[in-house]
Amino acid sequence: MNITEWEAFLRQESQKAISAYLEEKDSGNPDLWEDIELEQEIIDSGWLGLEGALEREIVATEELLEINLPPSYRNFLRVTNGWNTENPELIHLYSVQEVCWFRDQHQDWIDIWVNSEAILDRIPDAEYFVYGKDQEPSQIREDYLQTALKISTVYDGDVVLLNPQIIVDGEWEAWIFSNSSCGAHRYESFSNMLKLKGLSDSWL
């Protein structure tokens, strides 16, 4: 998605989430938004995003990590530098300043997967490159975790990663890596992942 498309999509997701919040509060039976209070300014604005990252801030992270971030993710950051509703049930995406290599914070987590018997049989392309409802979360290549980019907080064993080992037209494969799924839900790109998952409901 380009910047204009991201702006429209994120505003739509913001409004959906705020509407759900207000409906729950009015019902007297809060669920997803229990114990969360949105500021009136946010409700009035219809926007849950943050201020967009400056180009120089994105470039600084790219130079630090020695990478070129995927175009759709870069454009997302230009519109909102991360995504945090203060609701732990909703995904919290990092600001560009927080993005880091998964291995730098979770080498022990990687080691558990890489040292398991599962890696002995590498997933063939015919099984790996399956996306959508027919995908099997356990069909991952565990060694890719060593070079994955972490772009979210970890919540209940779930984390969002970008995989530089699979790049098509500049877009990195995106993972929702999850202990509960015994693997990862994988998407062709960051933008494809958000289109399918949205930002207004729980990913768990």
CATH number for the domain spanning 94: value is 3.40.1580.10
Q: Tell me the residue range of the domain where 193 lies.
A: 3-197
Split at pLDDT 50, 70, 90, the class of 123 is confident
Tens of pLDDT, residues 89-117:
777 999 999 999 999 999 999 998 887 65
d(CA 94, CA 64): 16
Tens of pLDDT, residues 124-178:
998 899 999 999 998 899 999 999 999 999 988 999 999 999 999 999 999 999 9
pLDDT of residue 128: 92
State the virtual CA torsion across 72, 76, 78, 81 in degrees, nearest 10. -140
The answer as to whether 202 is a domain residue is: no
Q: What's the total number of domains in the chain? A: 1
d(CA 103, CA 164): 14
The first and second tokens of residue 62, run together, are 């790219």
The answer as to whether 8 is a domain residue is: yes
The answer as to whether 203 is a domain residue is: no
